[in-house]
Amino acid sequence: MMGAIVLTHRWLGIAFCLLFAMWFATGIVMHFVPFPSLTEAERFSGLAPVDRGAERITVAEAVAASGIADATRVRLVGRGDGPVYVVSGLSRLRAVHASDGSNASVTSADVALAVARAHARQRGLEADRAAVLAHADYDQWSVPNGFDRHRPLFRVALGDAAGTEVYVSSLTGEIVLDATRSERGWNLAGSVLHWIYPTVLRRNWALWDRVVWTLSLLALIAAVLGAVLGVVQLRLREHQISSPYRGWHALHHIIGLIATTFVLTWVFSGWLSMDHGRLFSRGQLSPAEVSVMNALPDWKTAASLDRKPVSSSAREVEWFALSGAVYRRERIGFDKQVLVRPDDREAGVFSAQEVESLVTRFGAGCGAPSVLAIADDYPAQSAVQGAPVYRSRCGDLWFDIDGADGSVLQRLDASRRAYRWLYSALHTLDFPILMAHPHLRDILIVGLCVLGLVFSITGIVIGWRRLRRSL
């Protein structure tokens, strides 16, 4: 048995020592430079105020013009070529011109360029030398599945000093992603390597998922076998614990023992990042819960909301269905909105009573919702800064509801709560006590990753020497 363990660990170690080193090194980069994305603050700051004086069709007419029968949300946004309604359904979305309901998808590079320039001006970015670089379904930074409903994308270089590139949805004409030169460079040395994320592989999600899951599992097996050997091979000499090895082998053995807990938990949690429902629940609403959340309204009932004047400060107006009723909200600031109820009453956010009325539709036994603390063990945050998140416990099932728009931010059953600790906490050290002391967390993450990198380098040296003797 020990012979088999030694042999398996040796050759798995040779096969994966470079991968281990890469994971630890790129983990440091990823901690400080995340994968490029358009943050909500960036998206909102790029919106122009809604033109209140422009002639526009009603929301019901916009939904009808879109052809989306299961529409649950409609947004009115300004665009370089005029205001548009963006109609969202369960599986697709479409933009129509607010003036006449005609198709507002972007097929022209000139329109995409105008949209990008208007967005840049609102954010105070230089765009005089902006140019369209590509019109494609995928590139290295737009491979995540969240962009599928917007493909193909126009990639526009703003020509500013930061080398900013923005991506324009061909379906809605909205900016959905941005990336600076620095972000792209650091991520080539970070996320792209860490996640094994080359475009040719990642564009096929199912293949990428199987490849990375399998590699992570084999790496975990190698680490577990190494931990077993590390303990078994310890020697007790003159009341002192020592290693039977010398040179690089001894260094690998000693550092491995020191780093065993971290290496095992980090590789294990990294493997769990690819779980995707294999062992743990995915936190998705059940079909019955989806039917409650997406009960289709009669959009004609939004007529009274249409007649209500839009604030001169509104940068985005959204109509959405909640439990079959239509609400309207105006985003007038990153941290401020006006919510208009079906009876025309206004408020900033949903009340706890309104959230309770929604959640009780999911099933019996749901308790009164409470406002989620910022430092909660299972954190969730509204897209509107400062808006409350309500948690309602329905027995062992928890729902976190966004007080800004009534959407479900998290569905936490026992499996999902366990996953939060076994994956997120172990892999990113986002324990509440460490999140309250970010500098200490930075030091721990960098220090542990450096320790893992040094350990991996000793494995590389040993593996290279073994290969040279075998050739």
Q: How far apart (Å, rounded) are the C-alpha atoms in residues 156 and 169?
A: 11
Residue 62 has pLDDT above 90, yes or no: yes
User: What is the reported pLDDT for 323?
Assistant: 79
For residue 426, give both structure tokens.
């172990």
Say whether pLDDT at 54 is over 90.
no
The pLDDT of residue 127 is 96
- Report pLDDT for 284: 95
Please compute the mean of the pLDDT values over residues 447-466 and round it to a whole number: 96
Residue with token string 């023992």: 257
The three-class DSSP label of residue 416 is helix
Beta strands 235-237 and 165-169 are unpaired
Q: pLDDT tens, 293-319?
A: 888 899 999 988 888 888 889 999 999
Strand pairing class (240-242; 84-88): unpaired
**Percent with pLDDT over 70 in the chain:** 100
Q: What percent of the chain has pLDDT over 90?
A: 83
CB 178 within 8 A of CB 38: yes
pLDDT (tens digit, 9 = 90+) per residue, 197-216? 999 999 999 999 999 999 99
Q: Which two tokens stand for residue 377?
A: 């063990």
Indicate if the pLDDT at residue 240 is higher than 80: no
Question: Where residue 188 falls among pLDDT bands split at 50, 70, 90?
Answer: very high
Using the predicted structure, report yes or no on whether residue 237 has a pLDDT greater than 80: no
Instruction: Work out the angle at residue 199's Cα, subtended by the Cα atoms of residues 19 and 120, and round it to the nearest 5 degrees.
Output: 120
The answer to whether residue 471 scores a pLDDT higher than 80 is: no
pLDDT of the residue at 135: 97
For residues 321-333, average pLDDT: 91
Q: What is the pLDDT of residues 157-182, one digit of tens each?
A: 999 999 999 999 999 999 999 999 99
Using 50, 70 and 90 to split pLDDT, how confident is the model at 470? Answer: confident
Q: In the prediction, which pLDDT does 104 show?
A: 97
> Distance between CA 441 and CA 447 in Å, rounded?
10
pLDDT value of residue 126: 96
pLDDT tens per residue across span 63-121: 999 999 999 999 999 987 889 999 999 889 999 999 999 999 999 999 999 999 999 99
Residue 365 backbone zone (phi > 0: left; psi -120 to 50: alpha; other: beta): left
**Which two structure tokens, joined as six digits, stand for 399?**
């729902």
What are the tens digits of pLDDT across the range 345-393?
999 999 999 999 889 888 778 889 999 998 899 999 999 999 999 999 9
Cα three-residue angle 27-30-33, rounded to 5 degrees: 155
Convert the pLDDT of each residue in 241-282 to its tens digit: 788 899 999 999 999 999 999 999 999 999 999 999 999 999
Quote the pLDDT of residue 283: 94
